[in-house]
Amino acid sequence: MTRASGPRRGLRSLAWHLVMLAGLALVLYPLVWLVASSLKPSGEIVGDLELIPETPTGANYASALEGIGRVPAWTFFLNSLILSSGAVVGMLLSCTITAYALGRMRFRGRATMFTAMIATLLLPFHVMLIPQYIVFQNLDLVDTYIPLLIGKFLAADAFFVFLFVQFLRGIPRELDQAARIDGAGHWRIFWNVLLPLMRPALITGSIFTFIWTWNDFLGPLIYLNSPDKYPLPLALKLYIDQQEFSDYGAMIAMSVLSLVPVGLFFLAFQRFLVGGIATSGIKG
């Protein structure tokens, strides 16, 4: 090793860390701006170039917690929690059973069904909006949570079915054979043998489903009409009125508050996320 190699390596390391810090600052800037703006008076948010407020105030949070009109703020949180929790439960119930059927059972047409399911990942979501809306409107289900949740209970999330199938392919089939020798049927093999081993993949799917449903704006915008049924993403638009007063401060404060539950949910289960994706992606 030459004398110049040490300083040269140190310079490369310093340059690498500076680039990473610059990227981190770029990624975190919107979040910092959001939190800082929530502490500014509403009139200073638009057009103010200063990032840090000179006189921080909590009035925006007080206004946000009062709710909008006759709907209290906790109603929006409760609606989002109902939708997100229902989506997680529906995804786990339907996608795990479907993944077991496609990944472990032998029947005619299994490969064709699996290919058709994967093909649905290429179908844009927006293509199905109008036909689905017409169906739910004819069934008088518009302005209910059923259109937003029924797909979760029918294994319509092909991504998670594929994720679970890939995970199951990494579990030795000898476990199934040993359980079958002991007299176990498909249901007992699925519930007592495979499902406990699928915990990393199940938690990974739950994290993604909860976050995606919590942040979903388009679905509730299409199917929900009553403000008392709005989840948080849809409730945020109520703070902006093009004809009357727009409370930007309360809207930003509510945006910060809406990030807290999903952030806590992610932090609670993040240690399972990498393991679930890694073990599901390299098998099969």
Distance (Å, whole) CA 216 – CA 181: 46
Q: Which tens digits make up the pLDDT trace of 60-101?
A: 898 888 888 788 889 999 999 999 999 999 999 999 999 999
Buried b (16+ CB within 10 A) or exposed e, 158-187: bbbbbbbbbbbeebeeeebeebeeeebeee
- Local confidence band at 284 (pLDDT 50, 70, 90 cut-offs): very low
User: 277 pLDDT exceeds 60?
Assistant: no
The reply to whether 238 and 102 lie within a common domain is yes
Q: Under DSSP, is residue 173 helix (H, G, I), strand (E, B) or coil?
A: coil
Look at residue 283 in the predicted model and tell me its pLDDT.
44
pLDDT above 70: residue 172: yes
Burial annotation 3-30 (CB, 10 A radius, 16+ → b, else e): eeeeeeeeeeeeeeeeeeeeeeeeeeee
Domain boundary among 61, 85, 109: 61
Nearest alpha-carbon partner for 102 in 110, 91, 93, 94: 110
Whether the Cβ atoms of residue 240 and residue 251 lie closer than 8 Å to each other: yes
pTM of the model: 0.84
Which residues are CB-contacts of 277 (< 8 A; sequence separation ≥ 6)?
A: 204
**Model confidence at 4: pLDDT above 70:** no
Show Cβ contacts of residue 205 under 8 Å, excluding neighbours closer than 6 positions.
91, 92, 95, 160, 163, 164, 276
Domain boundary among 61, 83, 98: 61
- How far is it, in rounded angstroms, from Cα 73 to Cα 65? 5
Q: How many domains are there within the chain?
A: 2
pLDDT tens-digit readout, 7-66 = 777 788 888 889 999 998 888 888 888 888 888 887 777 766 677 777 788 888 988 888
pLDDT at 137 (0 to 100): 95
Query: Residue 156 pLDDT more than 80?
Result: yes
Does one domain contain both 150 and 212? Answer: yes
- DSSP helix/strand/coil, 43: helix
Give the CATH number for residue 185. 1.10.3720.10
How many Å is the maximal CA-CA distance in the chain?
79
Q: Compare 280 and 208 and report the one with higher pLDDT.
A: 208
Residue 198: both structure tokens together: 């699928």
| DSSP category for residue 193 | I
Mean pLDDT of 175-199: 89
Measured distance CA(45)–CA(43) in Å, rounded: 6
Co-location of 84 and 180 in the same domain: yes
**Average pLDDT, stretch 179-208?**
90
Q: What is the pLDDT of residue 165?
A: 93
Do the Cβ atoms of 278 and 170 come closer than 8 Å?
A: no
- The average pLDDT across 146-155 equals 94
Q: Do 55 and 141 belong together in one domain? A: no
- From residue 19, how far is each of 13, 22, 32, 179 by CA, in Å? 10, 5, 19, 53
At 18 the three-state DSSP class reads: helix
d(CA 117, CA 111): 10
Q: Domain limits at 252? A: 69-281
Do 57 and 79 sit in the same domain of this protein? no
